[in-house]
Structure 1
Amino acid sequence: MGARATARLAAAGHDVVDLTSQTPAEAEDRARSLVHDVDALVVVGGDGLVNLGVNVVAGTGTPLGVVAAGTGNDVADSLGLPVSRPEQAADVVLAGHVREVDAVRRTDDDHRTPRWYAGVLCGGFDAIVNERANGWVWPRGRMRYNLAIARERRCSARCRTASRLDGEPWVTEAMLVAVANGRSYGGGMRVTPDARMDDGLLDVLVVGPLSVPALARVFPKVFRGEHTSHPAVTIRRARRVRLETAGVVAYADGERFGPLPVEVEVVPSALRVLAPPGA
């Protein structure tokens, strides 16, 4: 799909610099070296590549274009971008319409370069499953995660989660925890269906302990965003969130974000995205 999008951009008279690299870290370094010298950075792939692009362009003013060609594409969906249609995605880039949206920055990290995400950070059972599955080379695809769920027992019933939302303590027993700028993760699970990427707020989801039968009843509703009325589900909003769950590594945009605790804040209009008007 990258070749098709590149051909579309080149046919329109644009010079395209291919940043394909052996590793994500190398691609990110190359992109950073050029970010102030290009009209836009365009990534081709799923949420992981979008996350790489966000970490390069956030706060720079350089627009991000997305050719959504991954498994999940949740950030692209939240932004109203074409999915698995590379020519149409390239046309969005060519149209040049810029939408300013929020991005989320880690604030408790002493690295010189801050880490960002655009969609959803998970810090409960879903993050534990991600951590286990990403350590395996087989099986591939969704089956890897199904097996990881079967193998992973920690936090499947509950974890004690301590949070601070804009400085206010919130301690709860939780099965799932998400700190969301976008509305979905995991390939269409609309965990925070009312989240907006331009409202200057984070939607913080906590799902309390559920029995296996109850979880089986609720889970299908997540794909339609109809789970929020369940008594085990709580969603609150904040600008700054500190999340603590013992023994959990957080994931954001499907990528490893770091062991908890982490503290993040939403930065309004930190990201300029090439998107359709009205998206």
Structure 2
Amino acid sequence: MFKLLIVFNRNAGSGKAQQFLPLIKQHLDNKGVACDWLFTESQGHAKTLIAQADLSTYSGVIAAGGDGTLFETVNGLMTHDDHDRKPFGVVPVGTGNAFSRELGLLPSDWEKGLDIILSRQTQSIDLGHVECVDQSFYFLNIIGMGFVVEAGKTTLKIKKLGKISYTLATLWETIKLKKHRIKVTIDDVVIDDDLVFIEVANSRYTGTSFLIAPDAKIDDGLLDVIILEKISRPKILRLFPTIYSGKHVNYKEIQTHQAKKITIETQAPMPLMPDGEFKGTTPVTITCVPSSLQLFS
């Protein structure tokens, strides 16, 4: 029997996700799919719900929300032993839903997301693993530091504006452009310089439609590293629109690498942003965990 455990975040998409709930339930009823529902009540709740769940009777665990809901659900799944871990599915009803772009899904493509899940086809995908001084966790999509964290904080303040909030926040933070002394070791390559940001990506997109890591693949056993070196404000304003197409990687101030392990050290602890969440600080070790999750695709 095909049965799903669905984690639903009513607050995703600044509360707009709630309007999709009856539509999703009706669609699944029409398809004759058995489901149990878990509703998140606070930040971190999805991880707790899945970590505590008995998954033995389910064919898949589904995250319905934004990238934060996916992040928490995946971290809950990874608390289970390999043989107990169920395939993971995505129903995008959040603001950004960057990871869902890997499945050809845009925000609010809930019906297409369900149809992918109901096809019952899966693929093995990689995760990133993050080890900080005081905590460790996994990420599905991307982890960043520097400029991207500041832009993320600003986005949070104006998130009710919807998808455009990511663009507006990035433009605003460009005005206050800062660089940081950072030492990053990418496998055997060492960079010690003043940098604007570092992004370590498992998948291609961030925000909603920023093609930050155009060569990233979720099943290649590698993480893509994108580094922005010192750059003038006028030039970053010219660079910014090219992120939508991935052509920013052609700028000489952008470095790109692929690696299995990345370590980052800073003079003072700097905050990290995994999958749009604010969690962890430097120093940090980031590794690729190949084929660690089955994804409905």
Q: TM-score, normalised by structure 1?
A: 0.87
Q: Is the contact between residue 183 and residue 195 of structure 1 (CA under 8 Å) also seen in structure 2?
A: yes
Partner of 1:126: 148
Partner of 1:2: 21
The alignment of Structure 1 onto Structure 2 pairs a total of residues equal to 271
Partner of 2:201: 180
Partner of 2:11: none
The CA deviation at 1:151 is 6.9
Residues 69-80 of structure 1: pairs in structure 2 closer than 5 A: 69-80=93-104
The CA deviation at 1:221 is 0.4
Does 1:100 find its partner at 2:124?
yes
Pick closer, same or farther for the CA change 1:143–1:195 going to 2, 3 Å.
closer
Letter in 1 for 2:23: R
Partner of 2:34: 15
Residues 205-244 of structure 1: pairs in structure 2 closer than 5 A: 205-244=226-265
Pick closer, same or farther for the CA change 1:248–1:131 going to 2, 3 Å.
farther
Does 1:267 find its partner at 2:289?
yes
In 2, Cα distance between equivalents of 1:226 and 1:151: 21
In 1, Cα distance between equivalents of 2:217 and 2:192: 25
The alignment-based identity, stated in percent, is 25
In 1, Cα distance between equivalents of 2:250 and 2:173: 30
Q: Is the contact between residue 166 and residue 207 of structure 2 (CA under 8 Å) also seen in structure 1?
A: no
1:115 pairs, out of 137, 140, 144, with 137
In 2, Cα distance between equivalents of 1:61 and 1:27: 15
Unaligned runs of 5+ in 2: 1-19
Q: Is the contact between residue 151 and residue 169 of structure 2 (CA under 8 Å) also seen in structure 1?
A: no
In 2, Cα distance between equivalents of 1:129 and 1:36: 37
Q: Is the contact between residue 95 and residue 107 of structure 2 (CA under 8 Å) also seen in structure 1?
A: no
Q: TM-score, normalised by structure 2?
A: 0.82
Q: 2:37 is paired with a residue of what secondary structure?
A: coil
Partner of 2:74: 54
Partner of 1:42: 62
In 2, Cα distance between equivalents of 1:132 and 1:220: 19
The CA deviation at 1:11 is 2.7
Unaligned runs of 5+ in 1: none
In 2, Cα distance between equivalents of 1:26 and 1:5: 21
Task: With a CA cutoff of 8 Å and minimum separation of 6, indicate the structure with the bigger relative contact order.
Answer: 1
Q: 2:294 is paired with a residue of what secondary structure?
A: strand
Pick closer, same or farther for the CA change 1:42–1:2 going to 2, 3 Å.
farther
Task: Judge which range, 21-30 or 170-179, deviates more.
Answer: 21-30
Task: Judge which range, 37-46 or 217-226, deviates more.
Answer: 37-46
Q: 2:247 is paired with a residue of what secondary structure?
A: coil
Q: Is the contact between residue 128 and residue 248 of structure 1 (CA under 8 Å) also seen in structure 2?
A: no
Q: 1:93 is paired with a residue of what secondary structure?
A: helix
Letter in 2 for 1:77: R
The CA deviation at 1:69 is 1.5
The CA deviation at 1:15 is 2.3
Does 1:252 find its partner at 2:245?
no
The CA deviation at 1:78 is 2.0
Task: Judge which range, 265-274 or 239-248, deviates more.
Answer: 239-248
The CA deviation at 1:108 is 4.0
The CA deviation at 1:226 is 0.7
1:238-272 C-alpha deviation (Å, 9 max, x unpaired): 10111234352110110112112221111111111
Letter in 2 for 1:179: V
Partner of 1:196: 217
Residues 133-148 of structure 1: pairs in structure 2 closer than 5 A: 134=156, 136=157, 141=162, 142=164, 146=168
RMSD between aligned alpha carbons? 2.5
